[in-house]
């Protein structure tokens, strides 16, 4: 991959920035399209780090594109193009957007996160410890942290404007999106997870859990939107190293989390700068995730 410079924040003269998330800058292109720009920002412990991760934005973009294509038969999606040469001129004038931008159909996003869990970790594990269930799903007793679930479960959450998303049960989910849509989003999410996780396993990666977002296009079709099955939206584990009964090393951010744990930092902003070798090791992991999953070098 070419040595492009890192991008922490973008500004496109002449295009309105409609949203700046922890990772993406979102611009409006006319009435019907958005430009999603994946920067090289990284967050850990819900806090954006001051040090960018080289190539991270490119990996998130290329991996989402790969999955949209791979999942074409399971779901419609919002992607118009991730090919820089096919972007509107105003975008092509900004070389720093190359390789990190997706031109997408603007939708009305459902204000929910469609989470699928195949393994017991994170807030699912905490819930299981406290209640013996995960978001109301009954599970066998004596599961260990990281164990594979008997079958993947759908555990939606609200999309909180600020801070932590909150898990909701299926009736609450249905009251937000409507009963019919709730059924569709659930079965789409499970189908997508099923197909993707089966494929990933053939490449040696366990997709422990993941989060999808969906939106309605102007014709009323449900589209898969946002990023898909990236290390930022999913827990990827190495199948070889999988050993339930403890927390599994996450594929991407483990170096950063481990490093931050050695500091006195109280996990409130501002976050400390990352040493070069930590940033480089993190880049290597993102590139590696892409290479393993797609079989190609970025």
Binding residues for ligand ATP, rule: CB under 6 A, are 19, 21-24, 26, 34, 36, 78, 104-107, 109, 213, 215, 225-226
Kindly state the smallest distance separating residue 66's Cβ from ligand ATP, in Å: 17
The b/e string for 68-98 (b: 16+ C-beta within 10 A; e otherwise) is: bebbeeebbbbbbebebeebeeebeebebbe
Please give the Cα distance from 67 to 70 (Å, whole number).
Answer: 5
10 vs 145 by CB, closer to ligand ATP = 10
What are the tokens at 277?
A: 């070798």
The H-assigned helical ranges of the chain are: 56-70, 89-92, 122-131, 170-177, 179-202, 254-261, 276-294
22 vs 144 by CB, closer to ligand ATP = 22
The H-assigned helical ranges of 138-214 are: 170-177, 179-202
**Position with the least CB separation from ligand ATP:** 21
140 vs 163 by CB, closer to ligand ATP = 163
Kindly state the smallest distance separating residue 140's Cβ from ligand ATP, in Å: 33
Contact 37, 24 (CB under 8 A): yes
75 vs 145 by CB, closer to ligand ATP = 75
- Long-range Cβ contact pairs of 213-217 (< 8 A, separation 24 or more): 213/109, 213/110, 213/113, 213/114, 213/159, 214/109, 214/110, 214/114, 214/185, 214/188, 215/78, 215/107, 215/108, 215/109, 215/110, 216/107, 216/108, 216/110, 217/78, 217/105, 217/107
Contact 30, 38 (CB under 8 A): no
Contact 206, 238 (CB under 8 A): yes
Kindly state the smallest distance separating residue 246's Cβ from ligand ATP, in Å: 27
Report CA 169 to chain centroid distance, whole Å: 21
Kindly state the smallest distance separating residue 258's Cβ from ligand ATP, in Å: 22
Kindly state the smallest distance separating residue 154's Cβ from ligand ATP, in Å: 19
41 vs 137 by CB, closer to ligand ATP = 41
Kindly state the smallest distance separating residue 113's Cβ from ligand ATP, in Å: 9
Kindly state the smallest distance separating residue 256's Cβ from ligand ATP, in Å: 16
109 vs 136 by CB, closer to ligand ATP = 109
87 vs 225 by CB, closer to ligand ATP = 225
Kindly state the smallest distance separating residue 261's Cβ from ligand ATP, in Å: 22
105 vs 137 by CB, closer to ligand ATP = 105
Which residues does 95 contact at the CB level (< 8 Å), separation at least 6? none
């Amino acid at each position: 991959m070419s040595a492009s410079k890192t991008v922490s924040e973008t500004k496109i003269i002449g295009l309105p920035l409609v949203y700046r998330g922890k990772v993406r800058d979102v611009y409006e292109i006319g009435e019907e399209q958005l430009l999603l720009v994946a920067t090289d920002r990284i967050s850990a412990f819900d806090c954006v780090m001051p040090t960018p991760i080289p190539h991270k934005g490119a990996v998130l973009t290329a991996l989402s594109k790969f999955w949209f294509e791979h999942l074409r038969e399971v779901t419609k999606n919002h992607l118009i193009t991730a090919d820089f040469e096919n972007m509107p001129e105003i975008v092509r004038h900004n070389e720093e957007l190359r390789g990190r931008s997706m031109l997408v159909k603007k939708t009305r996003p459902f204000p929910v996160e469609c989470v699928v869990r195949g393994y017991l970790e994170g807030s699912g594990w905490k819930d299981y410890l406290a209640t013996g269930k995960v978001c109301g799903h009954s599970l066998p007793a004596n599961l260990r942290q990281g164990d594979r679930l008997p079958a993947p479960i759908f555990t939606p959450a609200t999309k909180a404007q600020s801070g932590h998303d909150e898990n909701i049960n299926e009736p609450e989910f249905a009251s937000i999106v409507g009963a019919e849509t709730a059924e569709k989003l659930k079965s789409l999410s499970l189908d997508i997870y099923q197909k993707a996780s089966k494929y990933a396993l053939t490449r040696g990666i366990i997709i422990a859990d993941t989060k999808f977002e969906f939106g309605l296009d102007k014709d009323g079709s449900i589209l898969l939107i946002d990023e898909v099955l990236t290390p930022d939206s999913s827990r990827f584990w190495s199948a070889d190293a999988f050993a339930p009964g403890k927390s599994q090393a996450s594929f991407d951010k483990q170096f950063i989390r481990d490093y931050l744990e050695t500091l006195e930092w109280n996990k409130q902003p501002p976050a400390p700068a990352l040493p070069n070798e930590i940033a480089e090791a993190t880049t290597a992991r993102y590139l590696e995730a892409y290479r393993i999953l797609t079989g190609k070098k970025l």
